[in-house]
Amino acid sequence: MTSQIIPVEPFDFVIFGGTGDLSERKLLPALYYRQRDHQFSEPTRIIGTSRAKLSDEDFRNFAREAIMAHVKAGDIDERELGTFLARLSYVAADATTGAGFDDLKAALGDTDRIRAFYLAVSPNLFGQISDKLKQHALITPNSRIVVEKPIGRDLASARALNDVIGDDFQENQIFRIDHYLGKETVQNLMALRFANALYEPLWNSAQIDHVQITVAETVGLEDRVTYYDKAGALRDMVQNHMLQLLCLVAMEVPSSMDADAVRDEKLKVLRALKRINGNDAPKQTVRGQYRAGASAGGPVKGYIEELGHASDTETFVAIKAEIANWRWAGVPFYLRTGKRLASRVSEIVIEFKPIPHSIFDDGAGPIFANQLVIRLQPDEGVKQYIMIKDPGPGGMRLRQISLDMSFAQSFAGRAPDAYERLVMDVVRGNQTLFMRRDEVEAAWQWIDPIQQAWESARHEVQGYTAGTWGPSASIALIERDGRTWHESN
């Protein structure tokens, strides 16, 4: 995609967990691309840190391999890669003891340059690292801290963590990442809604029948056994990514793209979500867990076999959510997400109301309600389904077609990964695409009663065969309301 690259001022970027999985797969490749697109000014430095005793050279070798493995071969420019690797250095530091934090301080020096501390580590280290940064006087007015989800596992633990980090950093220095917000197509949702006059007058309960949000994955547990089995799909996907998508669809028009203007509107949506309590949970939620089946043309194990022991953790969730405000009263938002589903697809479907009266006779065929489908991944694009006359003689026959806008066809070039945008926003100090403390907590406030309802009523997980669209109860959830899931293929 073509865009004008504006260089950012020099900065120091410290990656805690510098040799970990996130750094390898996402952060180093994202930073390399920003180098290749000449977005850095001199002297920008990237410092890796972890407990391991490594030399600068070891870290550079690690980064080179990470980039070779996770950047397309055609995008490797040896000269730019050399310049990038020369920016890298390494300091060993241990957040549990504080060892090495003075070395990090010495490496950073006494500057007022922008300083980003990216915590690509297990969340149980977030508080300790934040505190050690403060104790060793590493936090300057120009410093930022970046934390990944999960921010807590319920409201109480999220508050406790926010308190700890909030004691060390100001809210405008805290960047809570939800990488979905960095996806091009997710940002495009705001462009679609707020840069076009067409949709806004239709964007309400008078014109919209319901909304569907699907984030389906084909992968299974991958190697995140310990984390995932404690979290489950509700905490892993719904509390953050799915609710953020729901907010972008449902929020009022913000007064500007200013971070707080956007986040204020998202917060109002989260606060207007109707609570799902113990009585509602059996009707409005479905939990599933995949059993052995097939994926990508081959047999795959069930969740429990992958895990190696019995577990009640859900790998699939479907929820009928409702927003209690004027705009959305009576418009259900059906959410579903899961692992080992039939295909990898994330999309938002806005289904409009049917026409109030048909002037066509039965021979014309069924008249389908208009749908707007925003495909987030893969095959990013927007489709508007409309009814037309089937061309040719033979009377008036109607047909549904889609007006298609495919990003790949409309825009040449590479679609940057979400992290490229997000790491640069950290440096720029732009928090629009990051979650504010109150948003994270409001999301937990809605999630906690669902989790509690499941636990207290022993709402058992329903098995589904890997490679399908989840348990049949998920189909029943929407069909009870006389609606069907959009065929996401």
Interface positions with ligand BG6 (CB under 6 A): 217, 236
Residue nearest to ligand BG6 (CB): 236
Catalytic residues: 241
Q: How far is the CB of 195 from ligand BG6 (least distance, A)?
A: 24
CB of 242 to ligand BG6, least distance (A): 11
Q: Could you check whether the bond before residue 378 is cis, i.e. omega within 30 degrees of 0?
A: yes
State the minimum distance, in angstroms, from the CB of residue 311 to ligand BG6: 16
Q: How far is the CB of 256 from ligand BG6 (least distance, A)?
A: 28
Nearer to ligand BG6, 132 or 339 (CB): 339
Rounded to the nearest angstrom, the gap between the alpha carbon of residue 228 and the centroid of all alpha carbons in its chain is: 16
Q: In this complex, which beta carbon is closest to ligand BG6, that of residue 232 or of residue 471? A: 232
CB 49 within 8 A of CB 100: yes
Q: Tell whether omega for the bond before 150 is within 30 degrees of 0, i.e. cis.
A: yes
Peptide bond into 43 cis (omega under 30): yes
Burial class (CB in 10 A: 0-12, 13-18, 19+), 299: exposed
Which of 231, 273, 266 has the alpha carbon at shortest distance from 245? 266
- What whole-number distance in Å separates Cα of residue 305 and Cα of residue 287? 18
Strands in 56-158 per DSSP E: 88-92, 114-119, 143-148
Q: Is 317 helix (H, G, I), strand (E, B) or coil?
A: strand
CB 140 within 8 A of CB 104: no
Which C-beta is closer to ligand BG6: that of 236 or that of 441?
236
**Inter-residue contact 1 to 416 (CB < 8 Å):** yes
Q: For residues 202 and 225, which CB has a smaller minimum distance to ligand BG6 in the complex?
A: 225
- Cβ-count burial of 359 within 10 angstroms (0-12 exposed, 13-18 middle, 19+ buried)? exposed
Burial of residue 105, with CB atoms counted within 10 A of its CB: 0-12 exposed, 13-18 middle, 19 or more buried? middle
Shortest distance, CB of residue 212 to ligand BG6, whole angstroms?
A: 17
Q: How far is CA 468 from CA 51, 232, 299, 439, 489, in A?
A: 42, 19, 13, 33, 12
Q: How crowded is residue 191: how many other Cβ atoms within 10 Å of its Cβ?
A: 11
In the complex, the smallest distance separating the C-beta of residue 196 from ligand BG6, rounded to whole angstroms, is 26
Least Å from the CB of residue 198 to ligand BG6 = 28
Residue with tokens 């290749």: 36
Our CB check for ligand BG6 shows the closer of 217 and 347 to be 217
DSSP helix, strand, coil percent of the chain (3-state; round to 5): 40, 20, 40
Judged by beta carbon, residue 236 or residue 351, the one nearer ligand BG6 is 236
Indicate the residue among 217 and 306 with the shorter CB distance to ligand BG6: 217
